[in-house]
Amino acid sequence: MSAEIKKIDGITKESTQSMIDRALEAYPEKGRKKRAPHLSPNDQASCSACVKSNRKTVPGVMSARGCAFAGAKGVVWGPIRDMIHVSHGPVGCGWYSWGTRRNLVSGINGVTNFAMQFTSDFQEKDIVYGGDKKLKQLLGEAKELFPLAKGISVLSECPVGLIGDDINAVAKQASADLDLPIIPCNCEGFRGVSQSLGHHISNDTIRDFVIETREFAEPETPYDIALIGEYNIGGDAWSTKPLLEEIGLNVKAVWTGDGEIEKIAATHKVKLNIIHCYRSMNYMCKVMEEKYGIPWMELNFFGPTKIAASLRKLGEYFGPEILEKAEKVIAKYEPIMQSVIDEYRPRLEGKKVMLYVGGLRPRHTINAYEDLGMQCVGSGYEFAHGDDYDRTAAEMPDATVVYDDVSEYEFEQFVHELKPDLVGSGIKEKYLFQKMGIPFRQMHSWDYSGPYHGYKGFPIFARDIDMAVNSPTWDLVKSPF
């Protein structure tokens, strides 16, 4: 943990708390009571969570959260490229999540990758009579039309659970009939409080239906690893995987960015699991540790400081051969990274950023901004748990504001008061802050850019942040008349 306590000029625990109190004033009493524990000044030295999290969203406050289905389809299952993912239920959920996360895939669309929208398109009669028969039929149709698909996931939307369909029985039967892995995932949107339970349920289905069903064809080596919680947003995995290979590791599987189901199924054979997005996939890391004795390690591939630390950590774990390669790789890229910093840091030095993202980036990207000379003055998550906030405390400067499941009202108030030079959040927040004249980058989707991971990603990240903060268009916001 970081020993140095980071301070921001003008920000104290008192100033942050009074800002929070002012934002809470607008709430009715009940709402205020519910929201207050989710907002707090950071206590960097404590290394523990200063806010409550993973609680039900307060109705009517305008939360940015999604649902369990979004966590299952959008996050965990959706990126597996060689499977068909059926959005089981009405047409909407699958349609909204079709191509809107930027988990890029290799292969041929409709032949070897299935980044499409498959749905049972429930109608009134399916609600009344149940959708199991339809599901059985569509699984057969999918197999016939997409013979190279290596499996099918059945991702339940709200109605499926409410009307009492038994997708597990249908999947089991169809799996035998079609000789194909068919994974039932009861990830109805009403379950849990956010995307997070969808991640957990999906991890459980991988545990129950996928892991151990395959073995790698080639012989094992001591350097076999899996990269977990890397979703290939804007091609991130195409930066991190080669980097890990460059230091001598064999990346046998990526969960689940540009993912292949059979490799995921054989992951119980690796020697180490590297986890990037802890929130969405720690569950399976822990399962693999308990069941197969595979250790896991959390790493951070944002910005040269954290990348170098991560590579060294791997080197130390695997021993001199890998450590030496890691040092060589770091030495190779450091000058390139330094030139990026030399170019952008003078234009970004001292600029302030506020973050509000999903379950990882609100802490993992902080240091990448610091590599560029920027300071994080507020951060929070849509769907993190206490252990995420524990990990956040040390990364954030002391006394800065932490907000969990922030309402749009609170976020707007905080930004008004803190006047950051950049907000990094999602599509729902983007245009609000841009209208205020505040530079913004989408930090879920890399704003249609990327990759941001690894040495390949940092120059792009730096360019994008500079482009957002220093665009000459901001000088035109105030009209001269």
Partner 1 sequence: MANNLGLAVKPVTEFAEDEVARVSEWINTEDYKEKNFSRQALVINPAHACQPLGAELAAHAFEGTLPFVHGSQGCASYYRSTLNRHFREPAPAVSDAMTEDGAVFGGQNNLHEALENAYALYKPKMMAIFTSCMPEIIGDDLTAFIKNARQKGFIPKDFPLPYANTPSFNGSHVHGYDSMLLSILQTLTEGKQVEGRCTGKLNLIAGFDCNTGNYREYKRILKELGIPFTLLADISDVFDSPLDGVYRMYPGGTKLDEAADSINGKATITLGPYATSKTFGWIKDNYSGKHVSMPTPFGIAKTDSFLLKLAELFGKPVPQSLKEERGRAVDAITDAHQYIHGKKFALYGDPDYLIGYVSFLLEMGAKPYHILCSKGSKKLGKEIQSLLDASPYGKDGKIYMNKDLWHLRSLVMTDPVDAIIGDTHGKFITRDAGIPLFRFGFPVFDRVNLHRSPLIGYQGVINMVTAICNKFIDIVDETCDDRHFEMMR
Minimum distance of partner 1 from residue 107's CB (angstroms): 8
Contact predicate 314/274, CB 8 Å? yes
> Which two three-digit tokens encode residue 12?
């104290």
Count the residues of the shown chain that bind partner 1, applying the rule CB under 8 A: 110
Catalytic residue status for 70: yes
The span of 2-10, 117-125, 370-378, 458-466 binding partner 1 (CB under 8 A) equals 117-125
The span of 275-283, 324-332, 359-367, 427-435 binding partner 1 (CB under 8 A) equals 427-435
> Which two three-digit tokens encode residue 123?
């109608």
**Residues from 14 through 33 that contact partner 1 (CB under 8 A):** 26-28, 30-31
Among positions 162, 169, 331, 336, the unique one binding partner 1 when judged by CB under 8 A: 162
Coil, strand, or helix at residue 395?
Answer: coil
Residues in the chain: 481
Catalytic residue status for 67: yes
Distance, CA of 284 to CA of 252 (rounded, Å): 16
Minimum distance of partner 1 from residue 443's CB (angstroms): 14
Minimum distance of partner 1 from residue 210's CB (angstroms): 7
* Residue whose C-alpha is closest to residue 195's, from 115, 281, 273, 259: 281
- Which residues fall within 8 angstroms of residue 423, CB to CB, at 6 or more apart? 353, 354, 355, 356, 415, 429, 433, 438, 439, 440, 441
Distance, CA of 85 to CA of 76 (rounded, Å): 11
Among positions 17, 117, 250, 470, the unique one binding partner 1 when judged by CB under 8 A: 117
**Residues from 281 through 300 that contact partner 1 (CB under 8 A):** 291
> Which two three-digit tokens encode residue 371?
């590599």
In the chain, the N- to C-terminal Cα span, in Å, equals 52
Minimum distance of partner 1 from residue 39's CB (angstroms): 14
Minimum distance of partner 1 from residue 102's CB (angstroms): 11
- DSSP H stretches of helix in 217-354: 237-246, 261-265, 278-292, 304-318, 320-348
The span of 9-17, 61-69, 301-309, 356-364 binding partner 1 (CB under 8 A) equals 61-69
- 381 counts as binding partner 1 under rule CB under 8 A: no
The span of 181-189, 296-304, 371-379, 417-425 binding partner 1 (CB under 8 A) equals 181-189
Among positions 5, 45, 111, 169, the unique one binding partner 1 when judged by CB under 8 A: 111
Among positions 19, 80, 126, 153, the unique one binding partner 1 when judged by CB under 8 A: 126
Among positions 144, 335, 475, 480, the unique one binding partner 1 when judged by CB under 8 A: 144
Q: Which of 67, 187, 237, 368 is catalytic?
A: 67
* Site map (CB under 8 A) of partner 1, residues 192-231, x = contact: xx-x-----------xxxxxxxxxxx--------------
Distance, CA of 231 to CA of 355 (rounded, Å): 20
- 407 counts as binding partner 1 under rule CB under 8 A: yes
- 66 counts as binding partner 1 under rule CB under 8 A: yes
* Residue whose C-alpha is closest to residue 418's, from 24, 6, 8, 7: 8
DSSP state of 226: E
Distance, CA of 21 to CA of 38 (rounded, Å): 12
Give bridge partners of residue 80 from the DSSP assignment.
Answer: 259
Active site residues: 67, 70, 101, 199
